[in-house]
Amino acid sequence: MFFRLFLLFTLVPAIELYLLIKVGTVIGAFNTLLVIILTGVVGAFYARQQGFRVVNNIQWKMEQGELPGDDLINGAMLLVGGALLVTPGFITDFAGFSLIFPPTREAIKVSVKRYLEKKIREGEVRVYPY
């Protein structure tokens, strides 16, 4: 686990910095900054919009007496996606938009659910009824 976190916090920023420098040499530093700011603003707006939709779905399901399992996963994915979008860089922007855009989020959610179900079966994640 330590090794994965080490790679995440060293390798990803290094690759992001390399890409930012390369793109900056092609389109210019000012245009690169504009792209970074634009993706952050658009991503934050879209994440907020999708987040309100998910929160409303959670409230509605709870009022109906249903468990909002899928919506909780959607909410977590939107939170991570929004955080990635406000982080400068092209890889993090791609990952963030993938988690925020509904069709790609649904595809990723299938894998997340399978992963969580596997962890529950293996006993690494415990679920307690209330």
DSSP of 41-110, one letter per residue? HHHHHHHHHHHHHHHHHHHHHHHTT---HHHHHHHHHHHHHHHHHTS-SHHHHHHHHHHHSHHHHHHHHH
Predicted local confidence at residue 130, as pLDDT: 66
Is residue 25 domain-resident?
no
Is 2 a domain residue?
A: no
pTM: 0.82
Q: Evaluate whether residue 24 is within a structural domain.
A: no
- Residue 28 domain-assigned? no
- pLDDT, block means (10 residues), the chain with 130 residues: 88 93 94 92 90 92 87 92 90 94 94 91 80
Residue-range definition of the domain harbouring residue 77? 38-122
Structure tokens at 118: 């596997």
Would residue 84 count as lying in a domain?
A: yes
Query: Is 56 within the bounds of a domain?
Result: yes
